[in-house]
Amino acid sequence: MSSLNDKIILFVGGAVGIGRAAAHLCAQRGAQVIIADLDAQQGQKTAAETGGVFFPVNITDPASVQSLAQQIAARFERVDVLIHTAGILQGAFESLDEFSPETFRRVLDVNVTGTFLVVQQIVPLLRKARRGVLILTSSGAATGGSSSFAYGSSKGAVNSFAITLTNRLEAEGMRVNVLSPGNIDTAMKRSVIAADVQRRGADFEKAVADSHLGDPAGVAKILAFLASDDADYVRGVISTR
């Protein structure tokens, strides 16, 4: 089991879901946890549970992300690992004819522009680490198709962004990985199932059971490994069940 002693790990989107599960496991393995999220109530709760600190952030707002980086810099000398799991899924099962441009823009704003803004502001703190690690989050939807035109598109863009990022940052000794989860039991995935059962007139609990959702704790084990020095030789996109 890889120790995370002395690692300062920033979980953007770590209030709930996969990010929260990863924050818990990384804290157990010795990491100093920093949670940053739009959801202050859940973010503070997760920070308290993990012995970490919480900072509010809206990743679509450049000033908010810049302020996050400044607050972290004032309190910590560096960030060793960025685990960026913040994201939204909207427009599930909407037809091409009905899909609103506003929804498309909103999803790309959070999932793509938000990822870019976080990376841009946090890389200077990762440069202060011995070997900074960036873990971004895509989805099986990027390559396998999505319930939402906007969501699938956004995750394809994250994969492409990570390729350019890797080309630039590897030369500086940083590692970039992309997590690509399958179907994991979180509020996001349950909202997609809810949209599906509503249009089909099906039973929600049965649909959840039939989906065989994975446990966020399972993905957390992969994230904790990727955050560790043992993952030094791992490259590119890592898919989970």
Ligand X SMILES: NC(=O)c1ccc[n+]([C@@H]2O[C@H](COP(=O)([O-])OP(=O)(O)OC[C@H]3O[C@@H](n4cnc5c(N)ncnc54)[C@H](O)[C@@H]3O)[C@@H](O)[C@H]2O)c1
Contact positions toward ligand X, by CB under 6 A? 13, 15-19, 37-39, 57-60, 85-88, 110, 114, 137, 139, 181, 183-184, 186-189
Q: Of 178, 239, 237, 194, which Cα lies nearest the Cα of 214?
A: 239
**Cα 31 from Cα 15, distance rounded (Å):** 16
Considering beta carbons, is residue 212 or 229 the nearer one to ligand X? 212
Nearest-Å Rg of the Cα atoms of the chain is 17
Considering beta carbons, is residue 2 or 147 the nearer one to ligand X? 147
* Residue whose Cβ sits closest to ligand X: 17
DSSP structure string for 43-76: HHHHHHHTT-EEEE--TT-HHHHHHHHHHHHHH-
Give the nearest distance from C-beta 19 to ligand X in angstroms: 6
Give the nearest distance from C-beta 206 to ligand X in angstroms: 18
Instruction: Report the DSSP pairing between strands 53-56 and 32-37.
Output: parallel
Q: Of 50, 36, 120, which Cα lies nearest the Cα of 85?
A: 36
Residues 6+ apart with CB under 8 A from 138: 155, 156, 158, 159, 162, 178, 179, 180, 237
Considering beta carbons, is residue 133 or 142 the nearer one to ligand X? 142
Give the nearest distance from C-beta 108 to ligand X in angstroms: 12
Considering beta carbons, is residue 2 or 143 the nearer one to ligand X? 143
Considering beta carbons, is residue 85 or 103 the nearer one to ligand X? 85
Give the nearest distance from C-beta 26 to ligand X in angstroms: 15
Considering beta carbons, is residue 173 or 236 the nearer one to ligand X? 236
CA angle 190, 237, 70 (to 5 degrees): 80
Give the nearest distance from C-beta 130 to ligand X in angstroms: 27
Per the CB < 8 A criterion, the answer to whether 68 and 113 are in contact is no
Give the nearest distance from C-beta 146 to ligand X in angstroms: 9
Amino acid present at 135: I
